[in-house]
């Protein structure tokens, strides 16, 4: 079964400290500790990366791969989540999951808006701009992937997600 890591960049690899120590936004320095932790996660789980960050907008997959590698991230970028302007990242991840089957996944993100929690909270590692992908976050991500390895996976498919979102929206707006 494939292991996928949905990767946000700002707040995961770019922290306030690394941002303050760089020249400009896109050239923001990655936090060395966060990169090391991400590399450990990828090495231990053999997860592939689907970039969900806004950094994916306007670049090709090969350019993103090169950018991450240039900054020390040892990963294989297999895809981007689709761009659905005006919609939250949870919908974009859900759209990506619609096209895939039999996937174990973990989401690394610092911006888990209200639409995330009912659907992805149990598969997400919430980071922050203050600390990024730190040791605690690494341990949590490893734990989530290990659950899947142990046959206790609670990943939901795109079809299940659509049903949950529809029920959630109906309940919320009635």
Other Cβ atoms within 10 Å of 157 Cβ, number: 15
Q: What pLDDT, in 10s, does the model give residues 75-101?
A: 999 999 988 766 677 778 878 887 776
- What's the predicted TM-score (pTM) here? 0.84
Domain ranges of the chain: 2-173
- If you ran DSSP here, which 8-state letter would residue 99 be given? T
User: What is the Cα–Cα distance from 58 to 54, expressed in whole angstroms?
Assistant: 9
Q: In three state form, how does the secondary structure of 110-161 look?
A: CCCCCCCHHHHHHHEEECCCCCCCCHHHHHHHHHHHHHHHCCCCCCCCHHHH
Q: Right CATH number for 2-173 from 3.30.70, 2.60.40, 3.40.50, 3.30.43?
A: 3.40.50
Q: What pLDDT, in 10s, does the model give residues 115-158?
A: 555 566 678 898 999 999 999 999 999 999 998 766 666 666 66
- Considering just the CA atoms, what is the radius of gyration of the chain in Å? 16
């Amino acid at each position: 079964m494939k292991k996928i890591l949905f990767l946000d960049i700002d707040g995961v690899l770019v922290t306030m400290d690394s941002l303050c120590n760089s020249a400009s936004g896109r050239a923001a320095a990655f936090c060395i500790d966060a990169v090391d932790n991400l590399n450990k996660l990828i090495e231990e789980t053999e997860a592939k990366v689907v970039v969900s960050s806004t950094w994916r907008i306007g670049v090709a997959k090969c350019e993103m791969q090169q950018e991450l590698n240039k900054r020390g991230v040892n990963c294989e970028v297999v895809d981007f989540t689709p761009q659905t302007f005006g919609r939250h990242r949870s919908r974009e991840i859900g759209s990506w999951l619609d096209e895939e089957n039999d996937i174990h996944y973990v989401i690394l993100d610092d911006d888990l808006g209200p639409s995330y929690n009912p659907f992805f909270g149990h598969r997400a590692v919430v980071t922050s701009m203050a600390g990024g992908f730190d040791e605690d976050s690494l341990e949590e991500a490893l734990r989530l992937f290990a659950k899947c390895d142990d046959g206790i996976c609670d990943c939901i498919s795109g079809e299940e997600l659509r049903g949950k979102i529809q029920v959630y929206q109906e309940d919320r707006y009635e």
